[in-house]
A = this chain, B = another copy of it.
Amino acid sequence: MELLEQRIQKDGAVKAGNVLKVDSFLNHQIDIGLLNEIGKEFKRLFADTNITKILTIEASGIAIAAIVAQYFNVPVVFAKKTQSINLDGSVYTTKIHSFTHQRDYDVIVSKKYISPEDHILVIDDFLANGCAVEGLIDMIQSAGATLEGVGIIIEKGFQDGGKRLRKKGIRVESLAIVDAMDDVTGKITFRH
């Protein structure tokens, strides 16, 4: 997605350790206009599916999922990272390893909000090693729902999450795939 790649090149910052900071427009401050263009693009890419629900994970997936959901006219469910005492006991759970925060955390979704009739689109900001997406897919499978595909804003193509998911036959649509980045020059190479 040309507009997105231009924005990443302009406002993204490459840091040591293969960190790509997109804080200024995607996951701390959020450019809602850009998210609307992203929503239209996902709708175009998944036009042949019959999505009934969008599933994401807190926190940085939520704004994206909410705006994207408008184009599919479906509700959003976001997986929560810790057991809240405001949630009933009846939940799907999975464990996800965060390389960013160097720890495992438990993720839950109430069983009430994913049913076997659902056709689900998973949305997230980044795909790197794929742990978060695999955790969400795990819960979709526990619910007996249908996974229609995974929509990612930025895939780190040099990490193996995308390859592993596609090998399993999962449809992954990434709007920008970064094949290399250099924290000295700031150069970002996109796959085309």
A24 partner, pick from B21, B65, B70, B112, beta carbons under 8 A = B112
Q: Which residue of B lies closest to A56 (CB)?
A: B63
Q: Is the CB of A84 within 8 A of B100?
A: yes
In the complex, chain A residues 46-103 whose Cβ is within 8 Å of any chain B Cβ: 58-59, 62-63, 65-67, 69-70, 73-78, 80-82, 84-87, 100-101
Residues of chain A whose beta carbon lies under 8 Å from any beta carbon of chain B: 15, 19, 21, 23-25, 28-33, 35-36, 58-59, 62-63, 65-67, 69-70, 73-78, 80-82, 84-87, 100-101, 109-110, 112-113
Q: How far is the CA of A112 from the CA of B15 in the complex (A)?
A: 17
| Residues of chain B lying within 8 A (CB to CB) of residue A28 | 77-78, 80, 87, 109-110, 113
Contact partners of A15 in chain B: CB under 8 A? 86
Do A63 and B84 contact each other (CB < 8 Å), given the known contacts A28-B110, A113-B28? no
Q: Is the CB of B86 within 8 A of A100?
A: yes
- C-alpha spacing A32/B65, complex, angstroms: 10
Q: Which residues of B contact A110 (CB under 8 A)?
A: 23, 28-29
6 A-B contacts, Cβ less than 8 Å apart? A25-B75, A28-B78, A58-B58, A66-B66, A67-B67, A82-B101
A67 to B35, CA, bound (A): 11
